[in-house]
Amino acid sequence: MLAIYEYLFGAASFVPHGYCLAWRPDLIAIHAFSDGVIALSYFSIPIALILLLNKREDLAFKRTFGLFALFIFSCGVTHLTAMIMLWEPYYGAQGMVKLATAMISVATAISLWPLLPKVLALPGPGQLRKMNTQLAAEIAEKNAAQVNLHQAYQQVEAQVVERTRELQALNQRLQDDVLRRSLLEEELREKAAQLIATNAELERFAYIASHDLQEPLRKIQAFGDLLKSEYESVLPDEAVEYVRIMQNAAYRMNKQTKDILTLSRLSWDSIQFDSLDLAEVVEEVAFDLKERIEEAGGKLEVGPLPSIPGDRTQIRLLMQNLLVNAFKYREPDSTPEVHVEAALHDTGAPGTGGACVEISVRDNGIGFAQEDAERIFSIFQRLHGRSEFDGTGIGLAICKKIVENHNGAIEAVSSLGKGAVFNIRLPTSQPERREIHAGTGTEV
Amino acid sequence: MQAQAQKYSVLMVDDDPEDGVLVKKAIASTGPKVDFQFVASGAEVLDYLFTEGRFTDRSSAPRPNLILLDLNMPGVDGFSVLKQIKSDMDLRRIPVVVLTTSEAETDIVKSYDCGANTFITKPSSFSDMIEVMTSLKSYWFDAARLPTA
């Protein structure tokens, strides 16, 4: 122990370092001062490093930091001993201190070298700042992009919502439309059914009314006749005139109800299409009208007429009405001339456009204004007063109904004072039998 | 009017007595007198013909030489009457003239099918009625020969 102490601090045979400096105070001062300041400084550095180590737990290379602190500290001790050596010649101790410092330095250096690439790899603060700035910029960029993206997304979403709403609205509208249309169609169907029912009802009413009206009417006429025939001689002239007027009115009404009955029957009765010799039908009608034609001094010219499929009763009634009209509406004191002609056409049948027969009844009578050409086929439409021409206003309506029953068309061409032509187009082929109103009412 | 004295008797059945008056007047105005009997229902005409009910006395209900039959009557209608007349071995020989307001083809066909001898639609004027009665009388009582009852 003593030997070690002697080795370390045995100063008997040495001189202090100040001696080497010849105790020059300026040199002593500068060495002592510098070594002291270096030592102090060197002692402060490890403190700072240890503090740093304690505060920064994420610090890399902690061991090397520790070594470095120890190395600085030992350097500080070396300088401290160098300062003491100026006055005390403990060269043994100083040598030990230096040795220790040397070992620590070597260890530090050894641990430092392999660290160098690693430390170099570590980004420096500047670099870090730059990277940070870059990162911040990138983040800002990304944020901005995200915001943009979000905005875009929101826009798209809004558009989708908007489109969806539009589509839904459109869909709703379509559905409403479809619903409305189907409701309308339903309504239309109902209305059509109602119309058919009402029409049937009306026709039935017309039939019943005209049929049932005939009964009391017949009584008025018959008893009027009776009154006149049995009491004419005892009644005053005025009374006889009244009876005559009543008789006339009853006669007209009778004719009218009969015509209505005929017209409504045309809607009721089934129709039978037979092959009909039109020439024969017209001949028959002409025979019936012979007296009337001769009375007027008239002339009936009938061209060649074909056979057509038709209902004998109805076609006869049609030709009769047309011929009666043709002779009836004539200029006073003129000779009525009536022509009946027919032509076959390959096309032109109403509805189907197939082959048809065109029958024309032409007269040289008073005619009518062309603008009335449609009106005259309506029931009760009369162009003349009763005093001019007798009639019920039903005849042409009957004609039209008959032609329609035969799937044909009738039209009138005329101008005032120029005579009139009635053209009838009838198809050359008909279904065998047509029920106009199947299973309606029983005859009363 | 003395039924016995007259050669021919006409029986009319119609639910409308006014038509009875017209026909009676019309017949009366056509030359030689004929007996005219009138009943107002299908049931009554059957009683009359089969001498039942209030017609048990033949003197007040002479056997007709011609029957004028209305179709549309309440209760027993013209067709039922017609069928009963035509299914009776004796009565079927009496000519039956259907005299009705109907002009319907179905009625005409059915009447003849049931054995009617003639179908006439009631004319609307009295003069036409006279004409109808004149021709009926001249046909059935003058031209046609009927079995003597």
Residue pLDDT, tens place only, A85-97 = 888 888 888 888 8
A217 touches chain B (CB under 8 A): yes
Q: Which amino acid is at A242?
A: Y
Per DSSP, the three-state class of A274 is: strand
**Per-residue pLDDT band at A433 (split at 50, 70, 90):** low
Residue A436 pLDDT greater than 70, yes or no: no
Residue B5 pLDDT greater than 60, yes or no: no
pLDDT of residue A432: 59
Q: Answer yes or no: is the ipTM higher than 0.85.
A: no
Q: Is A326 in contact with A363 (CB distance < 8 Å)?
A: yes
**Per-residue pLDDT band at B6 (split at 50, 70, 90):** low
Read off the tokens for B39: 């009943």
Q: Is A423 in contact with A187 (CB distance < 8 Å)?
A: no
Q: Does residue B3 form part of some domain?
A: no
Residue B110 pLDDT greater than 50, yes or no: yes
pLDDT of residue A439: 39
Residue A438 pLDDT greater than 50, yes or no: no
B106 touches chain A (CB under 8 A): yes
Q: Does residue B1 form part of some domain?
A: no
DSSP string spanning A343-406? EEESS--TTT---EEEEEEEE-S----GGGTTGGGSTT--SS-TTTS---S-HHHHHHHHHHHT
Angle (CA) B110 B112 B113, round 5°? 60
Each residue of A365-409: pLDDT tens digit?
888 888 887 888 887 777 777 667 777 788 888 899 899 988 899
Our count of domains for chain B comes to 1
pLDDT of residue A298: 87
B52 touches chain A (CB under 8 A): no
- To probe the interface with A, which of B70, B100, B125 has the most A CB atoms within 10 Å? B125
**Per-residue pLDDT band at B88 (split at 50, 70, 90):** very high
Report the percent of chain A where pLDDT is more than 90.
19
pLDDT of residue B1: 40
Q: Does residue B149 form part of some domain?
A: no
Pairing of strands A356-363, A420-427: antiparallel
- The b-or-e profile of B131-140 (16+ CB within 10 A means b, else e) is ebbeebbeeb
With an 8 Å Cβ cutoff, are A223 and B104 in contact? no
Could you list the residue range(s) of the whole structural domain that residue B67 is in? 9-142
Q: Does residue B4 form part of some domain?
A: no
Pairwise pLDDT comparison (B91 vs A418), residue with the higher score:
B91
pLDDT of residue A127: 80
Residues 147-166 of A with CB under 8 A from B: none
Residue A291 pLDDT greater than 90, yes or no: no
CA dist A9 and A145 (Å) reads 75
With an 8 Å Cβ cutoff, are B102 and A443 in contact? yes
With an 8 Å Cβ cutoff, are A222 and B22 in contact? yes
Q: What is the mean pLDDT of chain A?
A: 84
Residue A6 pLDDT greater than 70, yes or no: yes
Quote the minimal CA–CA distance from A256 to chain B in Å: 13
pLDDT of residue A268: 67
Each residue of A99-117: pLDDT tens digit?
989 998 888 888 888 877 8
pLDDT of residue B82: 95
Average pLDDT over residues A334-350: 87
Which residues, in sequence order, are CB contacts of A443 under 8 Å at separation 6+?
B102, B104, B105, B106, B107
- To probe the interface with B, which of A212, A218, A261 has the most B CB atoms within 10 Å? A218
CA dist A229 and B128 (Å) reads 13
Q: Does residue B138 form part of some domain?
A: yes
B132 touches chain A (CB under 8 A): no
Each residue of A77-86: pLDDT tens digit?
999 988 888 8
pLDDT of residue A443: 37
pLDDT of residue A318: 92
Residue B122 has its nearest CB partner, among A218, A224, A230, at A218
- To probe the interface with B, which of A226, A256, A261 has the most B CB atoms within 10 Å? A226
Question: What dihedral angle (degrees, nearest 10) is formed by the CA atoms of A276, A291, A340, A259?
Answer: -70
**Per-residue pLDDT band at B81 (split at 50, 70, 90):** very high
With an 8 Å Cβ cutoff, are A443 and B104 in contact? yes
Q: Does residue B2 form part of some domain?
A: no
Each residue of A205-248: pLDDT tens digit?
777 777 777 788 888 888 998 898 889 999 999 999 999 888 88
Beta-carbon contacts below 8 Å between A and B: 44
**B98 has which bridge partners?**
B69, B119
Q: Does residue B30 form part of some domain?
A: yes
With an 8 Å Cβ cutoff, are B101 and A214 in contact? yes
Q: Phi, psi (5° rounding) for residue B9?
A: -125, 130
**Per-residue pLDDT band at B111 (split at 50, 70, 90):** very high
Q: Which domains does chain A have, with CATH numbers?
A: 2-121 (no CATH), 271-434 (3.30.565.10)
Residue A444 pLDDT greater than 50, yes or no: no
Pairwise pLDDT comparison (B33 vs A305), residue with the higher score:
A305
Residue A14 pLDDT greater than 90, yes or no: no
Pairwise pLDDT comparison (A267 vs A74), residue with the higher score:
A74
Average pLDDT over residues A158-179: 90
Quote the minimal CA–CA distance from A443 to chain B in Å: 6
Each residue of B24-47: pLDDT tens digit?
999 998 877 889 999 999 999 999
Q: Does residue B67 form part of some domain?
A: yes
The domain spanning residue B89 has which CATH number?
3.40.50.2300
The DSSP element (H or E) to which A144 belongs, if any, is helix A125-231
pLDDT of residue B102: 84
DSSP string spanning B50-101? TT-GGG--TTTSPPPSEEEE-S--SSS-HHHHHHHHHTSTTGGGS-EEEEES
Average pLDDT over residues A341-345: 90
Quote the minimal CA–CA distance from A330 to chain B in Å: 29
